[in-house]
Amino acid sequence: MSSDFVNSMEWRISENPVDYHTAVQEMEDRAAAVAAGQEPELVWLLEHPHVYTTGTSAKKTDVLNALCPVIETGRGGQVTYHGPGQRVVYLVLDLNKRGRDVRAYVHALEEWIIQALEKLGITCDRRDGRVGLWVQRTDTTDDKIAAIGVRVKKWITLHGIAINLAPDLSYYQGIVPCGITEHGVTSIHNQGQQIPMQELDKALQETFHTIFA
């Protein structure tokens, strides 16, 4: 690998919603360039127009009512929703230099979300047997506030995380989110923190390098 981009990284924030297919193609192209040492790693913060995406473990029955387009993806996981008001973060990182451990990478993504939301006054955590980050609602039920779905190709990461800032949560009624029926979905605004997207982005940027140094 060329040494030009070993210690560099691009942060990109898209102001307008990005078409899902366009974003995936951009990720694929960037991953190939990172693997070839031609481009730096990328952390891309964006929003999508309303869309349901299905991962490699998805079941057709998990789409109950297609309230928006349904797109098959190559990421792990099941069915989820993306739309305005949700901060999606795609990471094209080189695990060759970060340790070839996908489980550790997913754990790091979880910790990143936990620390970023803690800065915003929201406590979320992992749950055994459930992917993503959860906010406790009652003694027996939780609400999901962030989703994780990744793919690794030649030890370069694709896809990433989605944090619900203030999306229209009614779209989740059209699917079984991540195959889970006994728990709900929430957002940062739903938790009483009426913050702008820029403040969430700032928290993500401030905590990133403590996790992915």
Instruction: Give every CB contact of residue 186 below 8 A, 6+ residues apart in sequence.
Output: 135, 137, 143, 144, 145, 164, 169
Under 8 Å between Cβ of 88 and 82: yes
Length of the chain: 213
Catalytic residue check, 178: yes
Provide φ and ψ at 193, rounded to 5°.
Answer: -105, 100
Report the alpha-carbon distance of residue 4 to residue 205 in Å, rounded: 23
CA-based nearest residue to 110, from 76, 148, 81, 151 = 148
Beta bridge partners of residue 156, listed in sequence order:
94, 153
- Cβ neighbors of 196 (< 8 A, separation 6 or more) are none
Burial of 192 (0-12, 13-18, 19+ CB in 10 A): exposed
As a whole number of angstroms, the distance between CA 162 and CA 178 comes to 13
Phi, psi at residue 39, to the nearest 5°?
Answer: -140, 155
Check residue 95 and report its DSSP letter: T
Among candidate residues 133, 178, 180, 200, the one labeled active-site is 178
* Catalytic center residues: 178
